[in-house]
Structure 1
């Protein structure tokens, strides 16, 4: 098939494009052309690249004009943008696959969360992702364009910083844990985070392409087989450096006073949701089989960052 991947140079596209090429598909990528993929792969030499800006009014026409059998949209963030593309591809493209987010669901009430049991989303980003998923499902149910939405957890992999044990991107957390120094943890550290390796997300998109009929009109949570608690994550991370985590429970008010405002805000956004999702639907309908447990995916990312001089730690990795 001819497959168009929009936003192919990001986390998921880095792994998805080579997968599709190796599977024998003709791949066309569409991006602003401002960065390379995170991981080099010779498969990229067989890819046709088209430079375009999604904010351009002609963008839907450009994508439709590429004559794709399937379009994988990795960078759609508003219902208006989704609607414009759906309207233009209707009747011309066989399958539109959208990258959503587990943040389409609000704070967990019962875990694991399934595609049907999530609470209403909170925050602009989650509300928009939920609206897009509903728009796509309704489009297919009404007999229009065949669509599928896949909703990754906290994507991790080589080349970028993972969401850390406190639910933020503060690199100082890794230095603290690697040194065995005290780490302030808001609450008791029982909140959950659900990571997923970028290649496992890519695998899910490839599976949805390959199982178009089973994926038609469906939405899938795409996460690792298990989730991590704050304290469990921190203890695993410290052990990678031969340390035992010294976790100090504090109130959220104390945590905010002692933490950079941006990092504290990110911690709250992640931990108050306390997400843990089921992958049973994706396993059953499209054969999703994640290769990475969350701690293995994070460790790979941390090792890459250290090896490339992008993360300062107090002791070398022993894991």
Structure 2
């Protein structure tokens, strides 16, 4: 097939594009062209690159026609964030393209009431990002159900991979958390430490997209959770990280009010966004219909990311990794 990957050099595309080339597809990577993939691979030499600014072209009403003009058999959209953008793309692909695959998010679900969360029983989303992504997924599902374009939505957890800092043990991007755990210093944690985060390696997300392309009939009109086989809570995550440096985590539970007073508003807000949802998702549907088989447990994916960051002087830690 000729497959257009929108956002092809991002977190997921870095791994998906080489997978598709290895599978024998003709791949066109559509991106702003301002950065290279996070990891190099020889397959990129066989990829056609097309520069496009999605935001500007959506505003001008030209993006959908540009994608359709590439005459793809399938389109993987990794960077769609509004229902209007999704609807415009669908309108141009309907009747001309065989399959549209959309990258959603686990935040299409709200705070957990029951875990693991299946595609059928999550609570309503909270926050603009999750609300808009949920609307896109529902619109795409209805599009296919009504006899229009064949679509599939895949909803990853917190994406991890070499080249960028993952969501950390406190549900934020504070580099001081890694420094404290690597030094064996006390770490203040908001709440009880039982709050869940569900990560997934970017290559496992790429695998799910590849499987959905291969199994178009099974994936048609469906949405799928795409996460690691298990989830970590704050305590388990912090203890795992400390252990990588030969330390034992010293955790000090505090109230959210106390926590907000000890960090920046940005980090506190990010922690709340991740931890109050306390999400763990089921992948039974993706396993059954797509044959999804994630290779990485969350600890393995996170360690790979941290190892890369330390090796490239992108993360300051007190002592070298002990593993």
Q: TM-score, normalised by structure 2?
A: 0.98
Match of 2:4 in 1: 4
Match of 2:18 in 1: 18
- 3-state SS of paired residue (1:299): helix
Query: In 2, distance between residues paired with 1:51 and 1:155?
Result: 24
Q: CA deviation at 1:78?
A: 0.1
Match of 1:200 in 2: 204
Moved more, 51-60 or 229-238: 51-60
| Aligned with residue 101 of structure 2, among 97, 103, 123 | 97
Q: Following superposition of structure 1 onto structure 2, how do residues 1-319 of structure 1 map, counting pairs within 5 Å? A: 1-54=1-54, 55-56=56-57, 57-319=61-323
Query: In 1, distance between residues paired with 2:29 and 2:40?
Result: 15
Q: Which structure 2 segments of 5+ residues have no match?
A: none
Aligned length: 319
Q: CA deviation at 1:89?
A: 0.3
- 3-state SS of paired residue (2:12): helix
- 3-state SS of paired residue (1:145): coil
Q: CA deviation at 1:239?
A: 0.3
Q: CA deviation at 1:112?
A: 0.2
Query: In 2, distance between residues paired with 1:197 and 1:30?
Result: 22
1:207-236 deviation digits (Å, cap 9, x = unpaired): 000000000000000000000000010001
- 3-state SS of paired residue (1:11): coil
Q: CA deviation at 1:261?
A: 1.0
Q: CA deviation at 1:188?
A: 1.1
Q: CA deviation at 1:33?
A: 0.5
Q: CA deviation at 1:131?
A: 0.2
RMSD: 0.4
- 3-state SS of paired residue (2:154): strand
Q: CA deviation at 1:52?
A: 1.1
Q: Which structure 1 segments of 5+ residues have no match?
A: none
After the TM superposition, which segments of 4 or more aligned residues of structure 1 sit over 2 Å from their partners?
none
Q: TM-score, normalised by structure 1?
A: 1.00
Q: CA deviation at 1:296?
A: 0.5
- 3-state SS of paired residue (1:160): coil
